[in-house]
């Protein structure tokens, strides 16, 4: 009887937790959704804007030739400056730079289904 009682309580809690997480996910699309460019912009401007002219991304002879290479640069500079970003933050910064300057096709796992 007691075990059944606890099981019932646990089941109720699980329901509430699921609802709570659902609400959280709706309230914070930046966490639930694929990397978003606005967050990437804020991250980039905080840490990277001061050093190189943003024009390095727009220059004719820029080195990055694909989304993956832009990401590799972002990861490189993150490492150079202290490895502060998680993978999804590196994705967000890459997406920001890509949306703004490079315009390479963005993989679905980073940009979601809204673009290639």
- Nearer CB in complex with ligand HEC: 3/103: 103
Place of tokens 């679905």: 108
CA dihedral 50, 100, 111, 89 (to 10 degrees): 0
Number of residues that bind ligand HEC (CB under 6 A): 18
Determine if 77 is a binding residue for ligand HEC (CB under 6 A): yes
Whether 75 and 90 have beta carbons less than 8 Å apart is answered as yes
User: Considering only 3-11, 29-37, 51-59, 106-114, which stretch makes contact with ligand HEC by CB under 6 A?
Assistant: 51-59
What residue is closest to ligand HEC based on CB? 48
Q: How far apart are CA 114 and CA 69, in angstroms?
A: 21
Determine if 56 is a binding residue for ligand HEC (CB under 6 A): yes
Whether 75 and 43 have beta carbons less than 8 Å apart is answered as no
Q: Which residues contact ligand HEC (rule: CB under 6 A)? A: 44, 47-48, 51-52, 56-57, 62-64, 70, 73-74, 77-78, 81, 93, 97
């Amino acid at each position: 009887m007691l075990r059944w009682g606890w099981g019932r309580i646990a089941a109720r809690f699980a329901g509430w937790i699921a609802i709570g997480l659902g609400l959280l996910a709706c309230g914070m699309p930046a966490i639930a959704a694929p990397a978003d460019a606005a967050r990437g912009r804020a991250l980039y401007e905080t840490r990277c804007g001061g050093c190189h002219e943003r024009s390095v991304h727009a220059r004719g002879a820029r080195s990055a030739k694909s989304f993956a290479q832009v990401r590799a640069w972002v990861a490189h500079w993150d490492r150079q400056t202290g490895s502060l970003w998680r993978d999804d933050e590196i994705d967000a910064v890459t997406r920001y730079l890509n949306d703004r300057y490079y315009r390479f096709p963005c993989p679905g796992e980073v940009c979601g289904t809204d673009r290639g």
